[in-house]
Structure 1
Amino acid sequence: MPQTSIPQQIIALKDADLAMRDQLIRTGQLGEGYHPDMAQLHNHNAAVLDDIIDRIGFPTVDAVGKEASEAAWLVMQHAIGQPVFMKKCCALLEQAVLAQQANPIHLAYLTDRIAALEGKPQRYGTQFDWDENGRLSPNLYDDLASVNNRRQAIGLNSLDEQTALIRKQAARENQSPPADAAKRRQEADEWRRSVGWLA
C-alpha cells in the first residue's frame, strides 16, 4: 500500500466509527450497553490501525498529519475490546507526548479509559458513566484537587465544568440512564472479564 494512502485510511476508520455512533443515537440504542455492531467495528478498526502502527510507528502529526493523527487517537480510545492494543498505544502515545509529537490531552483520555476499564481510579476524570441517581458522573478518580490540578496543567477545564458539559451533551443526544443500573453494571463487569480487563 502506498505510504500516502495511510492518512486517508486512518481518517476513514474514524468516519466509520462516528457514522455508526450517529446511527445508534438516531435509533436510541447508544446507551443500551455495548452494541454488537459497534463492538465489531471497533475491533476491526483496532486491527487495521495496529497493522499501520506496526508498519510506520505511532501515527504522530509529523508522520500522518493532524487530522489522521487525531483520527488514530479516536480509534485507540474506542478499542475497548482490545486491552493489549490499547495498552500498547498508551505506551507509544506517552513516548510521543514526551517527544512533543502528540497531544497530552489525548494521553490523559487514553490513560483514564484504561484505568476505568480496569476498575482503577482515573487521574484526569475524563471517563463518565451513569451513577446510582441516574446522572452521568465521572468514574472513580483519586482526589478532586489533584484531578483538577492535572487537568489544568494540560489545558482542560475543571471536573465540575466538564461534568456539566457531558450532561448537556447527553441531554441533546436524548441519552437516558439504563432501566436496570445494577444489571447493566453486572453485564459490564462480565464483559470486561471476558475481554481481559478484569481478572
Structure 2
Amino acid sequence: MNEKLKEELLHLIREDEATREVLASTGELFHGYHPAMEKVHLRNADKLKKLIEDNKGFPTIDQVGEDACVAALRIVLHAISLPDFMRAQEQVLVDLAKQNKVPKSYVAILVDRIRFYEGRKQIYATNADWDENGILRITEVEDPEQLNQRRHQMGLTPLESLVVTPQDGEYHPPDPAKRHQEFLEWTRKTGWRSLT
C-alpha cells in the first residue's frame, strides 16, 4: 500500500468537498460553474496528472485502497474543463475496471459524462440535465432496452424511471432555455464540442 499517495489523494478530494460545501451554503454552487470550484478542479487535475506519472499509472485499489482510488476517480470526473485529460483516462479506466482494479460504477459515470458533454447518448444513464420545463431528467440513452443489464455489469442499481426529481428541491434553473444555451456555449469554449 502506497500510504503517501493515498493520503495525497484523500487530501485533494477533501479540498474539493470543502470548496463545494462553502459554495453550496451560499447558493453560488448552483448558478453555473463557479470560478472557485473550477480553480480547485483544475489544480487537483494537474496534481493527479503528476501523481499518475510518478506512479507509472492510475492509482488502483490494491495500491492506495478503495477510498483513495475513488478520490482519484472523482478528481477525473470533476476535471470537466479538461476534456483531453478526461478522454485520456477513459480507456485506461475502462481496462482497469474490467480487471476490478477500480470501482466500475465510477468508470460508468466517466464514460457517460464524456458522452454527455460531447452531446452523445449515454450508455449507463448516470448523467441528468434540466429539461425545458425545469425538471431534472436522465439525458438520452443508447439501447434503453438493455440499460439495466449494462448498469448491473457496472455495479449500478436498476433505473426504473428516467425522471430524477420532480420540480422541487434545492435548485431549479429560473430560465431552463437560457441555462441550456449557456451550457452549450461552455462546451464549445472548453473543447467538448466543435464551434460549428
Same fold (TM over 0.5): yes
Q: Which runs of 5+ in 1 are unaligned?
A: none
Q: Deviations over 1:107-141 (max 9, x none)?
A: 10000000001000000000011111211111221
Once the two structures are superposed, the pairs formed by residues 39-188 of structure 1 within 5 Å of their partners are 39-56=38-55, 57-160=57-160, 163-164=163-164, 167=165, 171=169, 174=170, 176-188=171-183
- Taking the aligned partners of 1:182 and 1:85, their CA distance within structure 2 comes to 29
SS in 2 for 1:122: coil
The list of structure 1 runs, each at least 4 consecutive aligned residues, that deviate by more than 4 angstroms after superposition, is 161-164
- Taking the aligned partners of 1:66 and 1:157, their CA distance within structure 2 comes to 19
Q: Deviations over 1:164-197 (max 9, x none)?
A: 5xx38x82xx2x2211212211111111111110
Letter in 2 for 1:118: E
1:4 deviates by 3.6
Identity of aligned residues (%): 37
- Taking the aligned partners of 2:139 and 2:61, their CA distance within structure 1 comes to 30
1:30 deviates by 2.2
Letter in 2 for 1:92: V
- Taking the aligned partners of 1:60 and 1:94, their CA distance within structure 2 comes to 12
Aligned counterpart for 2:185 among listed residues 177, 190, 198: 190
Higher-helix-fraction structure: 1
The count of residues paired between Structure 1 and Structure 2 equals 191
- Taking the aligned partners of 2:81 and 2:20, their CA distance within structure 1 comes to 16
1:153 deviates by 2.6
Q: Deviations over 1:86-123 (max 9, x none)?
A: 11111211121122211211110000000001000000
SS in 2 for 1:125: coil
Relative to the length of structure 1, the TM-score reads: 0.89
- Taking the aligned partners of 1:181 and 1:124, their CA distance within structure 2 comes to 24
Relative to the length of structure 2, the TM-score reads: 0.90
- Taking the aligned partners of 2:43 and 2:178, their CA distance within structure 1 comes to 28
- Taking the aligned partners of 1:163 and 1:23, their CA distance within structure 2 comes to 28
For the structure 1 residues 39 and 106, does the alpha-carbon distance in structure 2 shift closer, same or farther, using more than 3 Å as the test?
A: same
SS in 2 for 1:198: coil
For the structure 1 residues 132 and 15, does the alpha-carbon distance in structure 2 shift closer, same or farther, using more than 3 Å as the test?
A: same
SS in 2 for 1:197: coil
